[in-house]
Structure 1
Amino acid sequence: MELIQVTGKYLIDDFHKVPEQIYKDDPNWIPQLRMMIEDTFDPAKNARFQKGDARRWVLKQNGKLIGRIAAFYDEDYSSGYDQPTGCCGFFECINDKKAAFKLFDTAHDWLKEKGMEAMDGPINFDENFFFWGLLKDGFQPQTFGMQYNPAYFNELFEAYGFKTYYDQYSYSLDITNPDLPERFWKIAEWVAQKPGYTFEHFSFKNQDKCIRDFLEIHEKAWGNHGNYKPIEFRLLKDLLTSAKIILDEEFIWYAYHDGKPIAFFMQILDLNQILKKLKTGKLNLWQGLKLLYLKKRRTITRCRVIVLGVIPGYQGKGIESAIFHHLKKVMLRKSWYNDMEMSWIGDFNPKMNAMFKSFGADRTNTHSTLRYLFDREKEFVRAPIIE
C-alpha cells in the first residue's frame, strides 16, 4: 500500500475520486459538493488555519485508490478538553482493516507531532453543521451536509480503538401536518402574540446585524456547555456567503423580547435532492445551470434544521413553538416543502431531544462523534450532559 499526501491538482482529484470508488454500487450515496470541501482546506477561506493546520492523504494499492483521510487541529477546539484534542475526517476506505489502520495511524502520528493527545472523528475542520459524525443507523440517503458511510466503517473505527464520545440524533417532522398536538399550536399562538415579543426572519440586506444577534444568542444559549466554542463573526459571514444556494431568508428566524435577541432558528434547503440527480459533486458551468434550473423547478422538497437555540431565562416558555408558528405560515405558502429534518441533536442535550419528541417528530437516524485517546491507559469519559 502506498500513502500519499495530497498536494497539487491531480492528487486533489484523487482525494475526491476515492468515495466514487467506495460507493459506486451504493444507491444511497449522494456526492458531496466538491467546492465546499475544497473551501475547508483553503487557508484563504477557512479562518481555522489562523490557529491550526490540516493535512490529507490518499491510499493506493497496486495503483488503485482504496482510501483517504484528513487530520486537522485548531487551538479553540484542542484546548476545550482535558487533553489537547485534534481531529480526523473525510475518511473513506475499502472494507480492509489493514488499510483503515494505516490511515488512522497516519492521522494519529501527524496530530501527535503537533502536540495532540487525542483524536476526534470523523468530523470536519469547520462548523459542526456539516460532515460531522459516523452514521450508525438509518442507512438511507442523507440530507445535505449529513455524513453517509457503509455500516462496516463502524467496525473499522471500533477495532482501532475509537469510542463514542456522544451520539447525534436526527428527527423528521412536517409542521404543516394537522395531526400535530393541538396543545403545541395553542402555546405557539399564545406566545407569538404576547406583548414585548417579536419575531423576524433573516435578511441578507441586514446580515451584519443578524450575525451579531446570532452570536449573542449562541454565546448565551450554548455557553454553559463544558465544550462550548465561540464562533467568530468572520467565520459566520464567510459561511453565509458560500452557502447562499442552500438558504432561504424566510427559513431563518429570530425571536426578540423588548428588542433583545433571545432565540434563533435556522434551516437549510436539502441540496442533496438535486445532487443525487446530477450524480456529481463537481459542478461545471452546465451542471451549475442545471442545478439552478432544478432548484427553480422546486425539486427540493425537504429542509434541514441545523440550529435551534433559546437563551436561559426564556427556555421552557414556548419560544420554539412560537418560531414554528411563524415558520408554518411560510411553509404553507411554499407548500412544495413537506419535510423538515432536525439534525443533529446530541445525546448530551436531553431537553432538546425531549422537545422534538413532544412536537411529534420521528427519529430517523443516529450519527456518532468518536474519540481515540493516545494514552491507552487514560480513562475514557463521554461528553457531559447539559443540565
Structure 2
Amino acid sequence: MITVEKVHTESQKKEFLEFPARLYQHDDHYIRPLNQDIESIFSPEKNKFHKNGECERFLFKNAQHETVGKVAVFINKTYQQQQPTGGIGFFDCINDQDTANFIFDHCKNWLQQRGMEAMDGPINFGERDKFWGLVIEGFIEPLYGMNYNFPYYKDLFENYGFKIYFEQLCFSRPIFAEVSRLFTLMHAKHSKNPNLSAKPMTKNNLKKFAEDFTEIYNKAWAAHGEGKCMHDSKVLKMFKTMKPIINEHISWFVYENEKPIAMWMNLPDTNQWFKYLNGKFGIWEKLKFLWIRQFKKNEKMVGLVFGVVPEWQKKGLEGYMIWEGTQHLRKHTDFKVTEMQWIGDFNPKMIKIAENLDTTVTRKLATYRYLFDRNKKFEKHPIL
C-alpha cells in the first residue's frame, strides 16, 4: 500500500531533496543539484511562475513508511498549448511500474481537478533552460541545471502511456577538433568586411552586452512558435547573477557598424565544481567552491544561446563568429570540450548549425506528453 504526503514541513522538504541522493548513491554519473536551486523553484518569493500558476509536490511512502517516489505537479498559465496542459517534474521513483503508475495517476487526478486535459513531463515549473526533459540516451554526467535519471525511467513513462512530445538533442565536440571548412571559408570572407567586428563579452560592461543580447534574441527568436520577447532589465539581472562564473574568453558578439547582429553565449559547466559539494552551498561550501574553482581546471564549457538576426541569416556569419571565438579561447582557456544545451528536434535550423560544427549527439532527453482523453489524436511539437 502506498501513501501520499503533500510536502509542507521542513522534514518533508528535506526528504524531497535526500531521496534522489539515496536512490543514485551508487551511480558514478549522478551529480546532486544544489539544494537551493531546487528549493527556489518551489518558493513563491523566488519563482515568479507562482503568481499565475499552482504547484504542489508530494512524497510517496510504502507500508514500511519508506520513500519510494516523489514528484511535483503544477499548472503554468504561461505554458500555452492546444489543450489545457499541466506539468509534472522532479520525478524520482524506484524501479517498479506499479509505484510509478500510482504516482502518475495521482498527478493526472490533481490536474484533471483543475481543468487540465494533458500533462507534460518531466518538465520544470519555470523556463525550459533548467530541469527539463528525461534522459533517454547518453547517461553521462549532467550539465548544470540538467536532469539526470536511470535508464529505466523511460520504461516507467512509456509503459504508463506517455509519448514523446519532442526530443532534446545535446551536441558536443572537442575544442581542438578541426572546424568545418565551410566555417573557415566564411570567416575568411567576412573578415574582409571592414564593417564587421567580433568582440568577447566582458564583465565590466554587462549593461551594454545585456542590451545587445536582448536586441539579437528578440529579433532572432521571438517570432518562433512559443517564443517570447525578453527585456533588458531581465537579461541584465541574469548576467549579474552569472557574473561570478563568466569567463571573458568564451562568449562572443558580432557587430555591423557597432550594431549587434549575432551572439554565441557560453559558460563553464559549473557542475564540474558543484559535484564536490553534495548539494549544499552554505558558507563552508562557498569557500570550498572558490578553492576548487581556483585550483581545479574546468575542461567543459556549455553553449547556452546562439543567435543571428534575420537579415544576416544564411550568409555564413556563424562561421565568422565561431572561428573567431574558437581561435581565441584555444589560446586563453583550459577548455577541452564544448557541449551545447539541448536543441529541440522541432528546430531543424539550429540542428543544422550544430551539425555543421562537426559535432556529435552526446545525449538525448525527451519531453513526454500524456493525453487524458486516450482517444484523442496525439500530435508532436510543431516544427519551427
TM-score higher than 0.5 here? yes
- SS of match in other structure, 2:378: coil
**Structure 2 alignment gaps of length 5 or more:** none
Residue aligning to 2:343: 345
Map 1:92-111 → 2, pairs under 5 A: 92-111=92-111
The offset of 1:50, in angstroms, is 2.2
Residue aligning to 2:330: 332
The 8 Å contact of residues 267 and 306 in structure 1, kept in 2 or not, is answered as: yes
Aligned residue among 63, 68, 77 for 2:65: 63
Q: Distance in 2 between matches of 1:204 and 1:318?
A: 28
Task: Kindly indicate whether residue 75 of structure 2 is the aligned counterpart of residue 76 of structure 1.
Answer: no
Q: Distance in 2 between matches of 1:328 and 1:36?
A: 31
Q: Distance in 1 between matches of 2:331 and 2:102?
A: 52
Residue aligning to 1:50: 51
CA deviations 1:120-154 (Å, max 9, x no partner) are 11111222222111101111212222221111100
The offset of 1:158, in angstroms, is 0.8
- SS of match in other structure, 1:72: strand
Distance 1:108 1:194, change over 3 A: farther
Q: More displaced, 57-66 or 194-203?
A: 194-203
Distance 1:361 1:44, change over 3 A: same
One-letter identity of the residue aligned with 2:163? K
Map 1:1-387 → 2, pairs under 5 A: 1-61=2-62, 62-77=64-79, 80-177=80-177, 179-231=178-230, 235-278=234-277, 280-386=278-384
One-letter identity of the residue aligned with 1:13? K
One-letter identity of the residue aligned with 1:27? D
The 8 Å contact of residues 175 and 324 in structure 1, kept in 2 or not, is answered as: no
CA deviations 1:4-49 (Å, max 9, x no partner) are 1111322111110111121111111111111112222222222222
CA deviations 1:82-138 (Å, max 9, x no partner) are 112221111111011222122222322233333322211111122222211110111
One-letter identity of the residue aligned with 1:315? Q
Q: Distance in 2 between matches of 1:176 and 1:216?
A: 31
**Structure 1 alignment gaps of length 5 or more:** none
Quote the RMSD (CA, aligned, Å): 2.1
Q: How many residues align?
A: 382
Distance 1:323 1:333, change over 3 A: same
One-letter identity of the residue aligned with 1:251? I
The 8 Å contact of residues 76 and 229 in structure 1, kept in 2 or not, is answered as: no
Q: Distance in 2 between matches of 1:160 and 1:65?
A: 21
Distance 1:12 1:43, change over 3 A: same
Q: Distance in 1 between matches of 2:374 and 2:182?
A: 51
Distance 1:304 1:247, change over 3 A: same
Q: Distance in 1 between matches of 2:222 and 2:156?
A: 34
One-letter identity of the residue aligned with 1:63? H
- SS of match in other structure, 1:313: helix
The 8 Å contact of residues 198 and 252 in structure 2, kept in 1 or not, is answered as: yes
The 8 Å contact of residues 264 and 322 in structure 2, kept in 1 or not, is answered as: no
CA deviations 1:198-246 (Å, max 9, x no partner) are 3333344443443333233223222333222444555544544444444
Distance 1:375 1:232, change over 3 A: farther
- SS of match in other structure, 2:326: helix
Q: Distance in 1 between matches of 2:195 and 2:107?
A: 52
